[in-house]
Structure 1
Amino acid sequence: MANALVSVQILPKPAHGEDVIPFVDEAIRIIQESGVKHQVQPLDTVMEGEMDELLAIVSKMNKRMMELGCKNVITQVKVLYQPEGITLETLTEKYR
């Protein structure tokens, strides 16, 4: 069972003032290709899995923004670490 939920919002600053949406799409693609369970939401994406793996994905997202030519990137991360296990549904099922 997963031991963490990580909410990530990435705010890249493209070098030439381009639209940020293609960069955010690339960051989401990295999450999708990782195979971790996740939910894309309007202002962030929440991932479910092992904390170390999820934080490595966040790192990969930031490095990819630099590869694409961004000047910098601000990444907001929230982590719920619960060694006995946690799922996305645990926190949201009563609202669905």
Structure 2
Amino acid sequence: MAVAEICLFPLGTGSPSVGGYLEPVMDVIRKSGLKHRVCPMGTVVEGSVEEILELVKACHEAILKAGAERVIISLRIDDRTDKPLTIEGKMRV
């Protein structure tokens, strides 16, 4: 199990407001069935590396379909093999 932070930045929108471009992305994330947590600057998801990469691809397609002319994607993946990894576990101090 891996935990990843995904951030998509639509460019070429003609406006500083990007909510309309990100709502279809959030629909894709919600429908993925992966455990996720929306944060102010990105979304954290939990799943296999393969599931996460498939999700990023679907998010990329969704934001372009929403009309973004360009998209920058930031992806950080934490994948451990020595013990279970969860969103909650990473939140503990």
Please tell me the TM-score bracket, short chain as reference.
0.7 to 0.9
Moved over 4 A (4+): none
Contact 1:14 1:20 survives alignment (8 Å): no
In structure 2, the residue matched to 1:73 is 71
**Which of 28, 35, 38 is matched with 1:37 structurally?**
35
Q: Mapping of 1:1-96 within 5 angstroms?
A: 3-15=1-13, 17-18=14-15, 19-83=17-81, 84-94=83-93
TM-score (ref. length: structure 1): 0.85
The superposition leaves residues 21-75 of structure 1 with CA deviations (integer Å, 9 ceiling, x where unpaired) of 1111211111111011000011010000111101110111111122222211001
TM-score (ref. length: structure 2): 0.87
RMSD: 1.4
Could you tell me which runs of 5 or more consecutive residues in structure 1 were left unpaired when the two chains were aligned. none
Could you tell me which runs of 5 or more consecutive residues in structure 2 were left unpaired when the two chains were aligned. none
Contact 2:21 2:67 survives alignment (8 Å): no
Counting matched residue pairs gives 91
